Amino acid sequence: MATVVMTSLDSKSRAFSRGLSDIKIRNLFIVPTILFLIIFNIFPLIYSLGYSFTDFRASTNAPANFVGLRNYRELLNDPFIWSNFAITAKYVIVSVAGQVIVGFGTAMLLNRDIPFKGLLTTLLLLPMMLSMAVVGLFWKLLYDPSFGIINHALGFGRFEWLSNPDMALYAVAITDIWMWSPFVMLLSLAGLSAVPKHLYEAAAIDRAGPFYTFFRITLPLVAPILMIAIIFRTMEAFKTFDLAYILTSQPTTEVISIRLYKMAFQEWQTGRSCALAYIVLIMVLAITNIYVKYLNKVKER
């Protein structure tokens, strides 16, 4: 043991005299990345914080006037913005719940003795590797009321999925569930395979029923990893833009990202949209915080 330590110290001191020192190499390897991320992630945020207190419009050359907290005050008092948040919340709940049910259910099935398990799992991964914009586009074809394959397969006749305001948000959520249930399935599968087999054997000896086994053994042990999948998907669903934007242009599917995009790049209310971006950012940070807290809790186990 002592010799190993000696060699390692010795080699380090010799490396120090040859070529670059370890400290220089460390800085050379780490500092550019940190600087790059600060320039392209943190600096823009500071830049837009400045604009969020102005009435700047990027479409005109008029100079920006300082308006203080007016943008924030108006946004927080705007019922339309709150309805965008409500739509986003509804969307997040429906699509994440759907993904957990479908994804966890599939994982439970796959956790048995299934032939070609690896191949089936790989095939199920395909949807989440695709572009959300392109997925949105081809689901438009599938949802088409007159010749879409979905209505034909389900025998719904000329059911309107995307042009019906009450249905459109669910249609977007269904597509999202199709795309991301495999993600929940993957994490659940990892959790399920980590449950010690002897617990099930003990339960079988005690003649425990399937419900008891599921709620007392499987679920509690898979819960942490399932929770991570839920938090992860919640964060992603909160950011949704592509899918809803491509699939339909209903007011009932205008999630907060779409509102933000329209405000910034169609109405060109740059200052106001910077303020809204900050409100969204604070919400994301709040969700992220919950995520990190939970992550640490899981790590402690």
Partner 1 sequence: MAAVRTRSERALNRVAIAAVLVITLIFLAPIYWITSTAFKPRNLATTIPPTIVFQPEVSPFVKLFAKRSQLRERPTPEHYAAAPWWERLVFDGGEKVVRSGRGEVQLSGYPSRFMNSLIVAITSTVLAVGMGTFTAYGFSRFKVKGEADLLFFILSTRMLPPVVVAIPMFLMYRAVGLNDTHWGLIILYTAFNLSFSVWLMKGFIDEIPKEYEEAALVDGYTRMQAFFKIVIPEAATGIAATAVFCFITAWNEYAFALIMTNRRAQTAPPFIPSQVGSGLPDWTVIAAGTFLFLLPVAIFTFLLRNHLLRGMSFGAIRK
Task: List binders of partner 1 among 259-298 (CB under 8 A).
Answer: 260-261, 264-265, 270, 273-274, 277, 280-281, 284, 288, 292, 295
**Site for partner 1, residues 103 to 142, rule: CB under 8 A:** 106, 109-110, 112-115, 118, 120-134, 136-142
Which token pair is 99? 């993904």
Radius of gyration of the chain (CA): 26
SS3 sequence of 208-247: CCHHHHHHHHHHHHHHHHHHHHHHHHHHHHHCCCHHHHHH
Among positions 1, 3, 40, 207, the unique one binding partner 1 when judged by CB under 8 A: 40
Rounded Cα distance, 68 and 80, in Å: 22
For residue 154, give every residue at least 6 positions away whose Cβ sits within 8 Å of its Cβ, in sequence order, or none.
none
Rounded Cα distance, 102 and 141, in Å: 23
**Site for partner 1, residues 196 to 225, rule: CB under 8 A:** 197, 200-201, 204, 225
> Which region, judged by CB under 8 A, interacts with partner 1, from 43-51, 79-87, 91-99, 164-172?
43-51
Residue 170 within binding range of partner 1, rule CB under 8 A? no
Taking the least distance from each CB to partner 1, the nearer of 97 and 283 is: 283
Rounded Cα distance, 187 and 182, in Å: 9
Name residue 125's amino acid. Answer: L
Minimum CB separation from partner 1 for residue 93, in Å? 18
> Which region, judged by CB under 8 A, interacts with partner 1, from 29-37, 76-84, 91-99, 163-171?
29-37
For partner 1 (CB under 8 A), the number of binding residues is 104
**Site for partner 1, residues 52 to 91, rule: CB under 8 A:** 58
